[in-house]
């Protein structure tokens, strides 16, 4: 098998012997990249290189990408004799083709094998569902703010996203992060970091586009908002969605092509596969959106405070914000409705406010946040809970310190494993400080 296979780069192009040559060989030999498994490096890859050098005087490919080896949850290689290989057709029937493709790539870090169980495909299925639902929301907004498909088509074709077309701060933030994602995406593709490709898109789509931009957009457009600003906002939502579909298409070809056909009028013969890939706009990479992103940071921190103090999700809490600067004051005031809606808080913003008694506090870019807890939670129960958490996390930190002080572990374990343990320790120590601070608040 391997003796004949080492001639594969040559014989597939019509090579017949030592001095054989033809148009295909001149055009396609050497090729650019070979994709294969690391378990056959010496069986096949090395032999093809030797044959190419001997018969043609050149290597048959410039780059070799070694895929991860898929193993079962016990770390065993999938094998017919072991009977531990899932039927891919059944997995596809249960979770979907795109979900399977996305999951395998997402869980396969460069240079490492994959422990695969069918239930892991829930990750890909949930992502595909999120993509579908986000698209439906965007198309509903399109139908609401445009009288017809032709009106949208005309506006969208002429739409050029830049600072001049934006009326909302969150639009500048999402554009800056979109181009940052594209920059990382193209860089990862060039370096064969396929796992990083999908993680970059996943984080931007779920965290920035859905959980922040679309949620903020729904609030902004929930009233009597209409006219050019609203239509531009919808066009931007569609523009970003189209870009997300294009960068996801190599991994999730079916759902992305289906949704893409609903963006604008195109024939069934057209495909997203041959449409241009989004390019990075360097100007957006240099754009400072620190202040524009402040409302999002405040929302994330308030949600964290509510969670830390177990404030019931359905309860409206009094939130006081003390801005650090006049400019921050303006930005927070302009976005107070979004902050209120996305945190379920009654928001008060003032430069000269004081910290209320029994208030959970935090700091975001120098801006002080206070949630008044009186009447929202049982102080006695919360104190008991925090004492238990402090005891639990203290024990966890001690166990990590013991592990990291073991020279045998630090010297012999892979560097990334040691780094992860150090990250766990730092995160646990940060949580411990938070719990102690929270206990102090309840004891005031």
* 221, containing H or E segment: none
Residue 247 and residue 395 share a domain: no
Coil, strand or helix: which one is 14? coil
122-152, pLDDT tens digit by residue?
999 999 999 999 999 999 999 999 988 889 9
Owning domain of residue 51: 2-66
pLDDT in tens, 317-338: 999 999 999 999 999 999 999 9
Does 440 or 186 have the greater pLDDT score?
186
Write down the pLDDT at residue 94.
95
Same domain, 239 and 335: no
CATH of residue 433: 1.10.287
Instruction: Round to whole Å and give the CA distance between 111 and 108.
Output: 8
Q: Please compute Rg for the chain using Cα positions.
A: 28
In a domain, 100, yes or no: no
Q: Render pLDDT for 24-35 as a digit per residue (tens, 0 to 9).
A: 999 999 999 999
Residue 73 lies in a domain: no
pLDDT confidence of residue 79: 83
**How many domains, in total, are found in the chain?**
4
Q: Which residues is 349 bridged to in the sheet?
A: 321
**For residue 255, what are the contacts with CB-CB under 8 A and spacing of at least 6?**
96, 98, 128, 131, 132
Distance from C-alpha of 185 to C-alpha of 200, rounded to nearest angstrom? 7
Of 322, 353, 372, which marks where a domain is finished? 372
Whether residues 360 and 390 share a domain: the answer is: no
Whose CA is closest to 67, among 100, 40, 42, 43? 40
Question: 340 lies in a domain?
Answer: yes
CB 299 within 8 A of CB 339: yes
Query: Of how many residues is the chain composed?
Result: 444
pLDDT digits (tens, 9 = 90+) for 382-433: 888 889 989 999 999 999 999 999 999 998 888 888 999 999 999 999 888 8
Same domain assignment for residues 131 and 174: yes
């Amino acid at each position: 098998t391997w003796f004949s296979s080492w001639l594969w780069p040559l014989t597939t192009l019509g090579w017949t012997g030592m001095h054989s040559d033809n148009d295909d060989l001149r055009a396609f030999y050497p090729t650019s990249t070979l994709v294969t498994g690391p378990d056959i490096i010496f069986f096949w890859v090395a032999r093809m290189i030797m044959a190419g050098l001997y018969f043609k005087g050149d290597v048959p490919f410039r780059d070799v990408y070694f895929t991860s080896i898929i193993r079962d949850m016990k770390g065993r290689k999938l094998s017919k004799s072991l009977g531990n290989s899932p039927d891919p057709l059944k997995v596809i029937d249960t979770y979907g083709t795109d979900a399977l493709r996305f999951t395998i790539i997402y869980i396969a870090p460069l240079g490492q094998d994959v422990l695969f169980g069918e239930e892991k495909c829930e990750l890909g299925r949930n992502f595909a569902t999120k993509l579908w639902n986000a698209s439906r929301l965007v198309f509903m907004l399109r139908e609401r703010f445009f009288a017809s498909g032709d009106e949208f088509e005309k506006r969208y074709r002429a739409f050029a996203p830049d600072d001049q077309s934006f009326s909302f701060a969150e639009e500048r933030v999402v554009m800056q992060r979109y181009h940052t994602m594209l920059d990382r995406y193209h860089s990862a593709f060039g370096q064969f970091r396929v796992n990083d490709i999908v993680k970059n898109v996943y984080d931007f789509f779920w965290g920035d586009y859905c959980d922040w931009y679309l949620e903020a957009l729904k609030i902004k457009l929930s009233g009597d908002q209409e006219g050019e600003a609203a239509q531009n906002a919808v066009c931007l939502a569609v523009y970003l969605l189209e870009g997300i579909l294009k960068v996801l298409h190599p991994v999730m070809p079916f759902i992305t092509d289906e949704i893409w056909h609903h963006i604008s009028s195109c024939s069934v013969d057209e495909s997203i596969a041959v449409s241009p890939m989004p390019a990075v706009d360097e100007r957006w990479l240099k754009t400072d959106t620190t202040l524009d992103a402040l409302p999002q940071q405040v929302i994330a921190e308030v949600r964290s405070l509510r969670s830390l103090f177990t404030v019931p999700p359905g309860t409206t809490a009094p939130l006081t914000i003390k801005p650090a600067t006049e400019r921050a004051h303006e930005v927070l005031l302009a976005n107070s409705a979004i902050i209120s809606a996305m945190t379920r808080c009654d928001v008060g913003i003032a430069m000269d406010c004081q910290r209320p008694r029994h208030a959970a506090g935090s700091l975001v870019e120098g801006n002080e946040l206070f949630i008044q807890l009186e009447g929202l939670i049982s102080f006695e129960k919360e104190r008991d809970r925090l004492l238990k958490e402090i005891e639990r996390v203290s024990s966890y930190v001690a166990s990590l310190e013991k592990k990291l002080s073991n020279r045998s572990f630090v010297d012999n374990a892979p560097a990334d494993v040691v780094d992860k343990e150090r990250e766990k320790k730092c995160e646990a120590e940060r949580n411990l400080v938070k719990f102690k601070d929270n206990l102090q608040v309840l004891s005031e």
